[in-house]
Amino acid sequence: MNQLDELYSKLLVKTGAKMALIVLDGLGDIATRTPDHPQHELTPLEAATTPNLDWLVAQGCAQGRMTPVAPGITPGSGPGHLALFGYDPLEYQVGRGVIEALGLGVELKAGDVAARANFCTLNAKGIVTDRRAGRIPTEKCEELCALLKKKIKKIGDTEVIIQAGKEHRFVVIFCGKGLEGPLTDTDPNREGLPIATAKPTSAKSAKQKKTAKLIAAFYKAALPVLKGQKVANGFLMRGVAHQPAIPTFENRYGMRAACLAVYPMYKGLAQLVGMKKIEGPQTIAEQLERYVKEFDNYEFFFIHYKYTDKAGEDGNFAAKVKAIEDFDAALPILLNKRPDVLAITGDHSTPCAMKGHSWHPQPVLLHSACSGSDKLQRFTETGANQGGLGHFEAKYLLRLMQANAKMFDKFGA
């Protein structure tokens, strides 16, 4: 525990306050001109019709912008969410495979190595032509994973566990002796290149070298199994790593926390810090209804919404606008049972013009009885630039939420 965390711990006062952190994945964007808005440069948040968010802003909110990691650094979903949970993403680096495996309910033991995988499309020369295999349906993913599991159970003395996820995503876990991450990704990160080779990140690590050879052997065994598939005839691996030790959310903040997410990765991130995964809800309306039902059982709720990020990665401005509007339409379910402190933000920006994550700071809205009001009309990037929260690192958001819940005693005389 660093000096600042020790101070927060000493000042902590448990009040029983209720908090909710709503993460619209990849919410942040950059203003662009689109066919629907040829005369003005707008972000999806600015173009969206959001009467319920507008109402909330009118009740008194503070807004600002957050840097997820550091200026100029584009974060993955893991660092972006860990920062929102108040964990310095530079101090707590977690492989994506570990997060995804936990989210899918796989129990990891010490020494197990996990990788997150995407089915992809390869041409006859082994070049990646679609990194997501057309976002195949989950049923197809389950079928392909069952095929791989039937053919590949062990590589040498290492057990191989394959678990299907959502759409094109799945995880691979290697259970054996002398294994260690992290390794580099086999995902080339763009179409037009072959599958990359997983390599050790430390030239001195014999365990990483063994793991790299193991992954190469897995590819050698698995690709022939998929060869006959028309679309998903290959796969890419990311976040090859083992699970680090992380202090729990409850020990750190003195609050029982629950996670309401649909996609496994975000459930895994929540589980990693000790949040309770609440299974079942599949839509944002169902997630918010479950929040209401569980309101008395937890002090903190993490609610994740994926579809803003998916639209941004597809470069689909209209779809991102609609995703925001769909969220806004469901928001009254929560507003009718408002927590003492409510934060709405993204884990990073996913600009439609860039079709991927970016370094741009994401907007954040904070509402509480003592948040004050910026007297703004809407929640947008432009408005957030003028907000009283200013520009700060995302790892401090939880502490600001605690302060707004009056959970800190005065520091000094």
Question: Which among 158, 206, 208 is positioned nearest to 184, based on CA atoms?
Answer: 208
Residue 326 has pLDDT above 80, yes or no: yes
**Claim to verify: residue 297 and residue 232 sit in the same structural domain:** no
Each residue's pLDDT tens digit, 59-87: 999 999 999 999 999 998 889 999 999 99
Residue 392 has pLDDT above 70, yes or no: yes
Instruction: Give me the DSSP letters along 20-87.
Output: EEEEETTBB---EEETTEEEEEE-HHHHS--HHHHHHHHTT-EEEEEESSSTTPPP-HHHHHHHHTT-
Question: Which among 222, 102, 94, 232 is positioned nearest to 173, based on CA atoms?
Answer: 102
Task: State mean pLDDT over 2-10.
Answer: 91
Residue 136 has pLDDT above 70, yes or no: yes
pLDDT (0 to 100) of residue 284: 98
CA distances for 279 relative to 19, 41, 142, 276, 308, angstroms: 20, 40, 19, 9, 21
Question: Which among 252, 356, 378, 372 is positioned nearest to 311, based on CA atoms?
Answer: 356
Q: Return the H-helix or E-strand segment holding 309.
A: helix 307-313
Does 163 reside within a domain?
yes
**Claim to verify: residue 222 and residue 120 sit in the same structural domain:** yes
Residue 95 has pLDDT above 90, yes or no: no
Distance, in Å, from the CA atom of 21 to the CA atom of 259, rounded to the nearest integer, reads 10
Helix (H, G, I), strand (E, B), or coil: what is residue 364? strand
Final residue of a domain: which of 222, 241, 260?
241
Question: Which among 340, 357, 358, 343 is positioned nearest to 397, based on CA atoms?
Answer: 343
**Claim to verify: residue 102 and residue 90 sit in the same structural domain:** no
Final residue of a domain: which of 210, 241, 272?
241
Torsion of CA 250, 389, 92, 182, to 10 degrees: 130
**Claim to verify: residue 278 and residue 379 sit in the same structural domain:** yes
**Claim to verify: residue 290 and residue 393 sit in the same structural domain:** yes
**Claim to verify: residue 277 and residue 356 sit in the same structural domain:** yes
Task: State mean pLDDT over 345-359.
Answer: 96
φ, ψ of residue 294 to 5 degrees: the values are: -95, 5
Residue-averaged pLDDT of the chain = 93
pLDDT (0 to 100) of residue 140: 95
Residue 318 has pLDDT above 90, yes or no: yes
Helix (H, G, I), strand (E, B), or coil: what is residue 317? helix
pLDDT (0 to 100) of residue 93: 78
**Claim to verify: residue 251 and residue 331 sit in the same structural domain:** yes
pLDDT (0 to 100) of residue 272: 84
Provide the number of structural domains found in the chain.
2
Q: Are 118 and 235 in contact (CB under 8 A)?
A: yes
pLDDT (0 to 100) of residue 99: 80
Distance, in Å, from the CA atom of 40 to the CA atom of 159, rounded to the nearest integer, reads 56
Each residue's pLDDT tens digit, 192-217: 999 999 999 998 999 999 999 999 99
Q: Are 22 and 305 in contact (CB under 8 A)?
A: yes
Question: Which among 127, 65, 88, 116 is positioned nearest to 5, based on CA atoms?
Answer: 88
Task: State mean pLDDT over 326-343.
Answer: 97
**Claim to verify: residue 183 and residue 323 sit in the same structural domain:** no
φ, ψ of residue 90 to 5 degrees: the values are: -80, -30
**Claim to verify: residue 155 and residue 21 sit in the same structural domain:** no
Task: State mean pLDDT over 139-148.
Answer: 95
Considering just the CA atoms, what is the radius of gyration of the chain in Å?
22
Residues near 394 by beta carbon (within 8 Å), at least 6 away in sequence = 66, 67, 68, 69, 80, 83, 84, 362
360-382 residues labelled b (16+ CB within 10 A) or e (exposed)? bbbbbbbbbeebeebebebbbbe
Q: Are 405 and 15 in contact (CB under 8 A)?
A: yes
Q: Which domain holds residue 151?
A: 98-241
**Claim to verify: residue 230 and residue 338 sit in the same structural domain:** no
Q: Which two tokens stand for residue 239?
A: 């976040």
Each residue's pLDDT tens digit, 28-58: 999 987 666 665 689 999 999 999 999 999 9
Residues linked to residue 237 through DSSP beta bridges, in sequence order: 117
CATH of the domain at 32: 3.40.720.10
Q: What is the pTM of this model?
A: 0.78
**Claim to verify: residue 257 and residue 199 sit in the same structural domain:** no
Each residue's pLDDT tens digit, 224-264: 999 989 899 999 999 898 877 788 999 999 999 999 999 98
Residue 144 has pLDDT above 90, yes or no: yes
Helix (H, G, I), strand (E, B), or coil: what is residue 101? helix
